[in-house]
Amino acid sequence: MNRRPLRFPGLLSLPGLVLAAKLSDPALAAVRDWLAPLLVALSLALAIVLFRYCARFRPLFVLAWLAAAGLAGQTLYASWSVRNAVLQAAQREPARLAALGQHLIIGYATPDDVRELVRHGLIGGLFVTRRNIAGKTATQLREELAGLQAIRRDAGLPPLMIATDQEGGPVSRLSPIAPYQPPLSSLAGRPDAKRLAATYGRMQAEHLVRLGINVNFSPVVDLKPNRPPSPFDRYTRIADRAIDANPDTVSRIALAYSQALVEAGVTPTLKHFPGLGDARDDTHLRSAHLSTPAEQLAARDWLPFRHVLERTPAMLMVGHATLDAIDPSRPASLSRPVLNGLLRKHWQYDGILIGDDMTMAAVYDRGLCRASLEALEAGQDLLLVAYDWTKYYVVMDCLHRADAAGRLPDLSESRRRLQNPPWRRSVVSPAESRT
């Protein structure tokens, strides 16, 4: 029998093994549900075939495919196990899990994914993005979100934060359900930019409120970089999203826009502190360092942040770039000297701090459990688990174990801020928004 053709599946065992080892990575979130069981089945089948028919390197190839099947199976088991652990803990200790849940904002795929989490207070809010509008009309999305809020209300719990990324321009996650608008940068240089920004904000907020959205992760107040984009920047693309390179221009447009959102019942979120304009790397994919001196940042990049925060109840999203001038050892989002020292004590900011997505590589690669605890210890009020939302269970399990062991940081001040957040001060029902 000619056994040479079987070398190909044998040689594929190494990439198969690597793929199986990476299945839990957020980069594979979109395909993990079907890829993991497929890889288990395929690996076992190839191991059996190679064991029977392959002569050369048979033990090596067979063991590699068996290892791939084991790793893929472990991913499936770990996902089920941690989810089960969280849901069982919620049955035993509902108050403890609900107290932790208010610090978590998560993405989701379908309402069925999160209905029980909403009902039992195991999350503080939801992040709505492009996958949530696929194949839906505005009416369908509005009814979906209203239904989840009704579950919350019937359970005697506070309304959910329901957030989105509707910056305008390239980041318009709810378009076309919410009308597409050009980027705010299109207003820079206009003599009536302030008036236009307010009109822009009112129009955007009107559609968001109608859908049931009460928080927008916008505006971007990072300064536009004065250099060509890095070829390694695949997702952040601050040059395409920033309003302008002039901090005064950014301050005026961002303030008028933010005030318009607030007046309409939508809480704005300034991002991405400490400013990504000078960062070269993409924190979605790797660590990034911001090496600009603090004095220069304070005199330029931080002016729009302070200008808007002092005049609105906006939240502040902290990015994952490392601010070398203050804490070169960890991302700004996980840094106590940055969050508690600079923002809380020096700036006297007492609003809500939320970090960028915890499934981005710059923090995820540190270990999701470790990063989550560091974020709360540093002073984050809300942890965002958006892209790979199933990692919510890993974070919640981690927080619950730390709390049970007495290792959770003191969250009393954070919980005070979350008692009456800005998005609950002007909750507009879908019915009211249509009048």
Neighbours of 64 (CB within 10 A): 24
Catalytic residue annotation: 284, 356
Q: Which domain holds residue 323?
A: 96-433
pLDDT at 185: 95
Mark whether 66 and 103 lie in a shared domain: no
pLDDT at 285: 86
Q: Which sign does the torsion angle of CA 320, 324, 325, 326 carry?
A: positive
How many Å apart are CA 282 and CA 321, to the nearest integer? 9
Q: What is the DSSP letter of 220?
A: B
Q: Terminal CA-to-CA distance of the chain, rounded, Å?
A: 78
- Write down which residue in 30, 54, 86 finishes a domain: 86
DSSP result, 262-319: HHHT-EEEEEEET-STT--S-TTTS--EE-S-HHHHHHTTTHHHHHHHTTS--EEEE-
Burial class of 308 by CB neighbour count within 10 A (0 to 12, 13 to 18, 19+): buried
Task: Give the pLDDT mean for 265-292.
Answer: 91
Q: Which sign does the torsion angle of CA 304, 340, 360, 106 carry?
A: negative
pLDDT at 134: 95
Is residue 385 within 8 A of residue 106, CB to CB? The reply is yes
**91 part of a folded domain:** no
**162 part of a folded domain:** yes
Mark whether 223 and 353 lie in a shared domain: yes
pLDDT at 7: 61
CA angle (289 as vertex; 227, 294 as ends), nearest 5: 85
Mark whether 49 and 116 lie in a shared domain: no
Name the phi and psi angles at 97, rounded to 5.
-70, -35
Mark whether 271 and 356 lie in a shared domain: yes
Read off the pLDDT of residues 79-120 as tens digits, 9 standing for 90 and up: 999 999 999 999 999 999 999 999 999 999 999 999 999 999
Mark whether 311 and 384 lie in a shared domain: yes
Residue 58 has pLDDT above 80, yes or no: no
Residue 197 has pLDDT above 70, yes or no: yes
Q: Which two tokens stand for residue 289?
A: 């360092």
pLDDT interval class at 433 (50, 70, 90) = very low
Task: Give the pLDDT mean for 329-334.
Answer: 97
pLDDT interval class at 303 (50, 70, 90) = very high
pLDDT at 36: 93
Mark whether 103 and 191 lie in a shared domain: yes
**208 part of a folded domain:** yes
Q: Which CATH number goes with the domain that contains 102?
A: 3.20.20.300
**264 part of a folded domain:** yes
- Write down which residue in 86, 109, 138 finishes a domain: 86
CA distances from 188 to 26, 194, 246, 254 (A): 36, 9, 9, 11
How many Å apart are CA 56 and CA 227, to the nearest integer? 55
Mark whether 405 and 296 lie in a shared domain: yes
Q: Which of 310, 202, 349 shows the shortest CA–CA distance to 262?
A: 202
Is residue 118 within 8 A of residue 152, CB to CB? The reply is yes
Mark whether 29 and 143 lie in a shared domain: no
pTM to 2 decimal places: 0.92
Q: Which two tokens stand for residue 130?
A: 């492009």
**316 part of a folded domain:** yes
Which residues have a Cβ under 8 Å from the Cβ of 45 and sit 6 or more positions away?
Answer: none
**189 part of a folded domain:** yes
Q: What is the DSSP letter of 153?
A: H
Mark whether 158 and 44 lie in a shared domain: no
Continuous segment of H or E residues that includes residue 365: none
Mark whether 387 and 369 lie in a shared domain: yes
pLDDT at 57: 56
Least confident of 227-236, 338-347, 390-399, 405-414: 227-236
Domain count, the chain: 2
Mark whether 53 and 176 lie in a shared domain: no
- Write down which residue in 86, 108, 142 finishes a domain: 86
Mark whether 141 and 162 lie in a shared domain: yes
Q: Which of 351, 347, 353, 352 shows the shortest CA–CA distance to 334?
A: 353
**59 part of a folded domain:** yes
Task: Give the pLDDT mean for 412-425.
Answer: 92
Q: What is the DSSP letter of 131?
A: G
